[in-house]
Structure 1
Amino acid sequence: MGRHYLEHLFNPRSIAVFGASELPESVGGRVYHNLIASGFKGPVYPVNPKYQQIGDKPCYHSIHEIGETVDLAVVATPAATVPGLINACGEHHVQAAIILSAGFGEQAGAGKALERSLLDEARRANIRILGPNCLGLMRPAIGLNATFSNNVAQSGSLALISQSGALCTAILDWASGHQVGFSAMVSVGDTADVGFGDILDYLSMDPQTRSILMYVEGVRDARNFMSGLRAAARLKPVIVIKAGRHAEGSRAAMSHTGSLVGSDDVFDAALERAGVVRANTIEQLFAAAQLLSTPQRVSGNRLAIITNAGGPGVMATDRAVEQGIRLAELSESTIGRLNQALPKSWSHNNPVDILGDATPERYRAATEICLADEQVDGVLVMLTPQAMTEPTDAAHAVIKAANPQRKPILSCWLGEKQVRKGREAFARKRIPTFINPESALEAFGYLSEFRRNQELLMQAPGPLAELDAPDVEGAQLIIEGALAEDRTLLSSLETKALLRAFNVPMLPAMTARTPNEALAAAEYLGFPVAMKILSPDITHKSDVGGVWLNINRAQAVRHIFAEMLDHVREAKPDARVEGVSIEKMYRRPHGREVLVGVIDDPAFGPVITFGAGGTAVEILKDRAVALPPLNDHIARSMIRQTHVSRMLQRFRNLPPANLDAVTHVLLRVSEMVCELPQIKEMDINPLMVDEDGAWALDARIVVHYKPPGQRPYDHMAIHPYPSHLVSSFQLFDGTDITIRPIRPEDAEMEKDFVRNLSPEARYFRFMESLQELSQEMLIRFTQLDYSRELAFIATIKRDSSEVELGVARYFSNPDGESGEIALVVLDEWQNKGIGTRLMSCVIDAAREKGFNSLHGEVLANNVKMLYLMTKLGFTHRSKPDEPGVVLVTKHL
């Protein structure tokens, strides 16, 4: 692919400042001064009709007077003037603009209209806009400080993206005092055009950036946000601070799930699926960045603590328990080795108390022994300065123990003056060091959280699990029927039919509208039965006397029917009552109540929750939240996060519950929200679980209208694996070929495929002499965001494994209406029709995506590829600035 579409924003060669001024207190004056003072190497042109000259440079009345190419416009003029300036920039072929001015989308009425006008001009001119209402952008390595901040960032490897300009200045001030440097600082402002996703996409491939820090207040485009976040997190650590816990709104009164899940829960779930870590304070933000920027990673959360004082060891243990970090159980061989290296009175347990007179040699021995234990995932080494302590020498001893190890070491030298040099020694060797055990334990928790979330990032579930096929068409017809009658709450019968269409297990039930019908239904189902009121206006039936359980006698049915209706009419006189539901009573002795629910989050779309069920769910608030699609790994991870998961294990006289059955229901609900975008809310409460299975005893579904023109899965923040695009065909010699979208687990196969290409084929594909894919390229090629890129691989079965024969892919261009293509087939499998099939799949998928055209670059001497492109209907033309390259285009 060519230069990134934000290259002119992050690496401009020339800049024009609109509203530049000699007044240092003005925004235009400050940003112009910062650009000059920061040492930007390219020309900086001040534009302001009020001045003839600013400093020792001429000032231009308009951009047209400059007469030279301008890559980036920085605008600090009144909001009303900005659309006209962007129009002029378009005529001058400017590619990017930073709008510092306020008065746009953050203001209702005229401000929003002005923002629309600004975006119309920008799109017409093909200019990407950062802001408006932002602090600006810094790139310290190239001397770019296009902000009006008084702070100056040092050059480094951290990138900061913030929705708050004020927080940017606070973080920059904090970082300056702690010698922390940045590869980029981006204030996004109102994100009218360039958003988090675009910036993350750029920084993910930026060689100067090793870690990314983010401050987020809200998300405009969840799909774009998740797309960029997942792309970046696959290649480098991303740490996020999220501000604002929004009110749960009126939905709390409408459903159990709505009352449980707030927008902050949903944001957490989004971060987990994106493979990133969340911090709560600026200190935590940088602590996580410090730790995650080191090469060490953990395979679990079992921690060994080494200390020369019992009190700090206890403090660290308490914090570890609170953080959910496990204290490692030291093996017998480790205990034996520690017995030989330490005094007899050491603690003989974890924490490893090596006593107050611990020498540097004792520190080194204890660290080496604990790191070598297979049951230890990381080590926290602590020191308190005592009379016999040598803090600096002890630090160097720990550093020597750490050198050959891959497991992380965290240091905590408590105190100030006596331990300062020891901390500095750790910092020089990039061993994370902390001033108190609580911060150290939080940091280790980030490592563990990063590992867990990276596992979730690797999951690429399809919309349908590998279960019996659901009746999607029948479910759609039921929903459409309800909406056609202008109803959004499905009736009890419709709800049960929807669950049945997706094979969610339920107990038998019948609807009754009269006492006699209730009696007949109870006799047919067999006693005992449960009776529940049916009303579209009553959500919590138990609260109004609308539930009666364990009805054992026929004589009681009609009486209970009448009494229930009396209670309901007294409690809810205006409620519409449609009858009662007579249900076979669940009478198994080992049942536990859980809840499975769905809400439609305004930012991230459908969200699935699991937790404790029953009538007290709002009080218990025991839940786990995840974005669909789910697979077995994600579903079981959700279950493990809840307190009720312990109740599902063997407990006293209760046998372990059937977790496979719970997982089955979660996967079925995931299928429902993937395939039925009309679902707005769902409660399955209670879902009764025992050793034999799980049954939905009660459920409620609210639907809404699907926006017109929406393509499949557009309602979801994470695009599912496009399993409907899997196909197969047979070569003339009888060889069976499978063509399918690539998955993350295909990384090794993709690496072998590129390695097995001939040098000529590799050169034709990558236009450079490449031996094999780097780790970054491998991640980029196999861990796809299916909403904006797609790769089809052709494979055959060989023995028990799959072998890749060819791959074709498209990358979505920033306009969202076109894509860039690539194709390569193993040399020995060329001229068999595989390339044609792969490219046909790419063309069909791009057309389904709504693309207008596909484009590619082919070396002029790649005759076979040019012939194939012609056969597939692509037009050819030479690339203007590279005569050895042919541009191929197909209009769809």
Structure 2
Amino acid sequence: MSTKYLKRFFKPKSIVVFGATEEPDNLGGVVVRNLQESGFEGHLYVVYREATETVFGVPCYRGFADLPELPDLAVICSIPERVPELIRKLGASEVRAAIILSGGYLAQGEESRPLREAVKEAAKPYGIRIMGPDCLGILVPGHNMNASYSHLNVLKGKVGYVGQSGIVGTAMIDWATGQGIGFSHFLTIGDSVDVDLPSIIDYLAADPYTQSIVLQLNRITNARHFVSAVRSAARNKLVLILKSAFLHQAGALQSAVDSGVVSEDQVYDAVLRRAGVVRVTTSDEVFNALETLSRSKPLKGDRLALICNGMGPNALAVDALIRKGGKLAQLSEQTVADLAEVLPPFWSRANPVDLNATATPEQFARALSIVSRDPNVDAVLMIHAPTRLAPCVQTAEAIIRVQKSASTQVLTSWMGRASAIPARNLLSAAGIPTYITPEKAVEGFMHMVEYRRNQEVTRQTPPNYVLQEQSIHRMRAKALVDGIHSSGRDYLTHAESMELVNYYGIPSAHSSYATSVEEVLKVGRFYEEGVAVKALHKDNRYPFAYDQLLTKRWQDMALDMYSEDEIRRRVTRLDYRMRERYQDNELDGFVVQQMKRGFQSMQMHVGITQHPVFGPLIVFGVGGYTVDVLGDRQLGVPPLSMSLARLLIEQSRVHRIIQENSYRIDQDINTLCQMLVKLSQLVVDLPVVKALEINPLLLNKQGLLAVDVSVSLGEPVPLCIPAYPEHLREWATLLKSNREVELRPIRGEDEPAHLQFYKSLSPETVRLRYFYSRSVPNHSELANWSQIDYDREMAFIATALKQDQSYEYETLGVVRAITDPDNVTAEFSIVIRDDMQGEGLGRLLMNKITEYCRSRGTLQLVGSTLPTNLGMQKLAKSLGFQNSYNAEEEVVDMRLPLNPPQEDWQFHRLSLG
């Protein structure tokens, strides 16, 4: 759903409530009173078939047709049986927005069906947008609107809350009100027919009064739309997601998740971490995270200092910090010396700092002032246990005074209840995060650390790595897989699987295949060292076949055979075992390999699995034949860059194994990163690959070797993050210099070249592009420009080899278009390097972006330029743009129609300019 209609939900000028009476337990009556008490300034009406003149003083009408005006928003609180007919009437009358607070099922004789389905069917012929059924409603304090059944109104603030559970929402309102935390918007969408979560996220991300967004999730349906919206919002605002580990929807998990490859919880962790957001799993945790993140300063690092008037609470905090992977700050010598003047002689002279039970409020404040200045400290946790010498309120007041001038983030934990509550209230009122226990305070700090790490990952410049495999190899891989898939077979044979990974530059062990014991003996003679034999059958044709029949996988193999007699004896025994378990048509023969020992080999497990909602995922961890017992399976969301691949490795136990056993740590990690990027490219190139498993994958002095590979095929499931649009690359020749340039979408690896490109621009070119003189962009800005979401925007760069024989590429020009959520208007901007003027590069890039936007169905391409930029105006006019002077903005607007509008709302949007 587009965001243009959401204004009717969040800023209506008139509201009608259906089904409201003055009865004490009437839902509609609660909504009417909430609207009145919130000070709603628009027109308010009630429709009830047994109407009285007014309901709580609000005009009441017997039918919708009796209303004096067409309302912007309808709030429906009627019984379920009446809701579908109401939706039909509203839609036919061109009411564009409705909230359905009713829920449940529609009775139809002896049968029933969900109200959601009945409402969806009733709304289908009309353009009405619907939130609900079974939602809490909407609260917008800035618009003085509480169109909900909440027992409290929310305070005005800067947090946007969107939930899928109404009851969790009411609990959140109660807690936040008690803590003094306000909201810009508060709503739950329930079992929404139409208004979807991603559209609301887009709306809140663009809202200037919303600084952070809290999402409470039960389920996600449109993964790509959701991830795109969350990634975009998280670029500029804090996004916190409450998602429990329990999945309530029966039958929602399929394929690899059912087989135990990964858990649903792992999938959500991986996807949300990739999106750059903070995930919590309990309501208690979301309260603490909101307390921290809505009141915290940006962290510069992850080093925490602890100060308390006793080592017991400090020890509790340290234990929690270590369990959660946090870091204790190492105090500088100057800090230790300054603290020595404040503390007793017997103090530990290290972090955590023990002020002793005799500490006074002044000592608390002095210690905080000293520690917060330490360059080695990124945050300070003040823990207070009540004593007669350090009264709770007086100590809190002293901390508040010092904290105002501290540049370091300060968190507090005032332990206790009777005397601690007033102190915690003071700290909250001063905007200082405060917690009941030290453990909860550490949890809050780690949320800050996680948020910072996730943001760094999303903005990290990927190392420049281009897939070296020739396109001919990837074409052969595609022909292999597509041919098998079209034949109806849903798996690759062992030989085909090994061939596939070879095409992507992942070396595989030399393998021979046999159908009998005698054939195994023949091929086994050619191996000088030990021989390994694996029986192939229907249960190991597919990846991640983790002993569904409670068999042991080692029974499918005969390893470490060094003589012909031993091969005959053990393979014969293996053959008997297989024939006892399987029919002849279920056996696929044997694979024979040389045993791979030595070279300090490390065994890894890598593969591709598929989630029914989020699509393909990369699996990585410790390998070998205990992999399903160890369960070291880390998940990556493709497409992967080198930096994302490195992060995936660092999360696994493999990283520690390499650090302990490898003599070339960086080289080995880089080799693994390249392998993961290749596997990620396989996911993009071959969407019918449902699952792939390499186990074991050996890493040793000789490099990588895939020992055993299996692949299954199925119907494609889209990536939840768009891949690099490689098909949009093309080459052109410049007019004057005849220089060959490549026109292609920008990617994250282009950041260094993009910085050099910007530095090469003259001050006048910068002014014409940005309308003002500006400084060199920082890393965060460059990351936003180069690491784009191809579903939301596009930037084409012109790049060519440098003319200094360095074989490096440089950026010559860039054109960018950002499309609104409705795909009505794309706004372009373009800049060409000064020395490239007159080469026809501007026309090439403008034609490129124009055709791209037209192919996406965008209705119009627009841009603005300064009146003095005659070159841009001339180029635009020659390309068919309509140029007009905008006196209000003092710019020249350029507008090019791309596609004709098809619906009424599109005509309306275009008429607004």
TM bin, normalised by shorter chain, reads 0.7 to 0.9
- Equivalent in the alignment of 1:567: 577
| Equivalent residues in 2 for 1:368-407, closer than 5 Å | 368-407=369-408
Amino acid at match of 1:46: V
- The unaligned stretches of length 5 or more in structure 2 are 901-913
2 CA distance for matches of 1:78 and 1:859? 56
1 CA distance for matches of 2:842 and 2:662? 62
* Residue of structure 1 aligned with 2:679, choices 669, 688, 694: 669
| Equivalent residues in 2 for 1:283-302, closer than 5 Å | 283-302=284-303
3-state SS of paired residue (2:71): coil
Any conservation in 1 of the 2:244–2:282 contact (CA below 8 Å)? Answer: no
2 CA distance for matches of 1:387 and 1:219? 52
- Equivalent in the alignment of 1:823: 829
1 CA distance for matches of 2:630 and 2:35? 55
**Identical-residue share of aligned pairs (%):** 31
2 CA distance for matches of 1:253 and 1:213? 28
Any conservation in 2 of the 1:465–1:667 contact (CA below 8 Å)? Answer: no
- Equivalent in the alignment of 2:433: 432
Do structure 1's residue 844 and structure 2's residue 846 form an aligned pair?
A: no
* Residue of structure 2 aligned with 1:786, choices 790, 806, 816: 790
Any conservation in 1 of the 2:88–2:123 contact (CA below 8 Å)? Answer: no
CA deviations 1:352-371 (Å, max 9, x no partner) are 21222224443344334433
Q: CA deviation at 1:91?
A: 5.0
Structure 1 535/251 Cα, relative in aligned 2: closer, same or farther at 3 Å? farther
Do structure 1's residue 856 and structure 2's residue 865 form an aligned pair?
A: no
Amino acid at match of 2:587: V
CA deviations 1:394-419 (Å, max 9, x no partner) are 44444455444433221222223444
3-state SS of paired residue (1:121): coil
- Aligned residue pairs total 872
- Equivalent in the alignment of 1:8: 8
2 CA distance for matches of 1:760 and 1:300? 38
- Equivalent in the alignment of 1:164: 165
- Equivalent in the alignment of 1:504: 506
Any conservation in 1 of the 2:303–2:327 contact (CA below 8 Å)? Answer: yes
- Equivalent in the alignment of 1:658: 668
2 CA distance for matches of 1:623 and 1:754? 51
Q: CA deviation at 1:499?
A: 0.9
Any conservation in 1 of the 2:116–2:133 contact (CA below 8 Å)? Answer: no
Any conservation in 1 of the 2:881–2:895 contact (CA below 8 Å)? Answer: no
2 CA distance for matches of 1:782 and 1:4? 28
3-state SS of paired residue (2:586): coil
Q: CA deviation at 1:482?
A: 2.2
Any conservation in 1 of the 2:826–2:853 contact (CA below 8 Å)? Answer: no
Q: CA deviation at 1:795?
A: 6.8
1 CA distance for matches of 2:635 and 2:310? 40
- Equivalent in the alignment of 2:907: none
- Equivalent in the alignment of 1:475: 477
* Residue of structure 1 aligned with 2:745, choices 737, 741, 746: 741
Structure 1 668/353 Cα, relative in aligned 2: closer, same or farther at 3 Å? same
3-state SS of paired residue (1:478): helix
| Equivalent residues in 2 for 1:274-289, closer than 5 Å | 274-289=275-290
3-state SS of paired residue (1:303): strand
3-state SS of paired residue (1:581): strand
1 CA distance for matches of 2:715 and 2:415? 60
2 CA distance for matches of 1:689 and 1:696? 9
Any conservation in 1 of the 2:695–2:708 contact (CA below 8 Å)? Answer: yes
* Residue of structure 2 aligned with 1:586, choices 585, 592, 596: 596
CA deviations 1:155-192 (Å, max 9, x no partner) are 22222111011111111122222222211111111233
- Equivalent in the alignment of 2:308: 307
- Equivalent in the alignment of 2:735: 732
- Equivalent in the alignment of 1:488: 490
3-state SS of paired residue (1:266): helix
Do structure 1's residue 648 and structure 2's residue 658 form an aligned pair?
A: yes
- Equivalent in the alignment of 2:29: 29
Do structure 1's residue 624 and structure 2's residue 634 form an aligned pair?
A: yes
Do structure 1's residue 38 and structure 2's residue 32 form an aligned pair?
A: no
Structure 1 246/522 Cα, relative in aligned 2: closer, same or farther at 3 Å? farther
- Equivalent in the alignment of 1:697: 707
Structure 1 751/441 Cα, relative in aligned 2: closer, same or farther at 3 Å? farther
CA deviations 1:556-591 (Å, max 9, x no partner) are 333333221111222345771111001121111522
Do structure 1's residue 543 and structure 2's residue 547 form an aligned pair?
A: no
| Equivalent residues in 2 for 1:114-193, closer than 5 Å | 114-122=118-126, 125=127, 127-193=128-194
Structure 1 225/462 Cα, relative in aligned 2: closer, same or farther at 3 Å? farther
1 CA distance for matches of 2:249 and 2:652? 21
3-state SS of paired residue (1:650): helix
Any conservation in 1 of the 2:202–2:229 contact (CA below 8 Å)? Answer: yes
- Equivalent in the alignment of 1:522: 524
Amino acid at match of 2:517: P
Structure 1 390/622 Cα, relative in aligned 2: closer, same or farther at 3 Å? same
2 CA distance for matches of 1:472 and 1:840? 30
- Equivalent in the alignment of 2:911: none
3-state SS of paired residue (1:524): coil
Q: CA deviation at 1:284?
A: 1.9
1 CA distance for matches of 2:414 and 2:830? 55
Any conservation in 2 of the 1:488–1:702 contact (CA below 8 Å)? Answer: yes
Any conservation in 2 of the 1:462–1:721 contact (CA below 8 Å)? Answer: no
2 CA distance for matches of 1:14 and 1:754? 53
2 CA distance for matches of 1:199 and 1:359? 49
1 CA distance for matches of 2:65 and 2:337? 80
**Which moved further from structure 2: 173-182 or 310-319?**
173-182
3-state SS of paired residue (2:660): coil
CA deviations 1:98-140 (Å, max 9, x no partner) are 2323357999867565244245234xx2x43222322211102
3-state SS of paired residue (2:376): coil
- Equivalent in the alignment of 1:219: 220
Structure 1 168/437 Cα, relative in aligned 2: closer, same or farther at 3 Å? same
- Equivalent in the alignment of 1:766: none
- Equivalent in the alignment of 2:899: 891
Any conservation in 1 of the 2:80–2:106 contact (CA below 8 Å)? Answer: no
Q: CA deviation at 1:5?
A: 4.2
- Equivalent in the alignment of 1:722: 725
Structure 1 143/727 Cα, relative in aligned 2: closer, same or farther at 3 Å? same
Structure 1 250/289 Cα, relative in aligned 2: closer, same or farther at 3 Å? closer
Any conservation in 2 of the 1:789–1:812 contact (CA below 8 Å)? Answer: no
| Equivalent residues in 2 for 1:106-117, closer than 5 Å | 113-117=117-121
CA deviations 1:238-271 (Å, max 9, x no partner) are 1111135349999999879941311111011111
CA deviations 1:494-539 (Å, max 9, x no partner) are 1111111111122211111123332232233433221011123334
**Which moved further from structure 2: 549-558 or 250-259?**
250-259
Structure 1 509/310 Cα, relative in aligned 2: closer, same or farther at 3 Å? same
Any conservation in 2 of the 1:490–1:701 contact (CA below 8 Å)? Answer: yes
2 CA distance for matches of 1:97 and 1:253? 35
Any conservation in 1 of the 2:373–2:408 contact (CA below 8 Å)? Answer: no
**Which moved further from structure 2: 345-354 or 77-86?**
77-86
Structure 1 192/699 Cα, relative in aligned 2: closer, same or farther at 3 Å? farther
Amino acid at match of 2:492: L
3-state SS of paired residue (2:492): coil
Q: CA deviation at 1:809?
A: 0.4
- TM-score normalized by structure 2? 0.85
Structure 1 847/653 Cα, relative in aligned 2: closer, same or farther at 3 Å? closer
- TM-score normalized by structure 1? 0.87
Q: CA deviation at 1:608?
A: 1.4
- Equivalent in the alignment of 2:457: 456
Structure 1 456/196 Cα, relative in aligned 2: closer, same or farther at 3 Å? farther
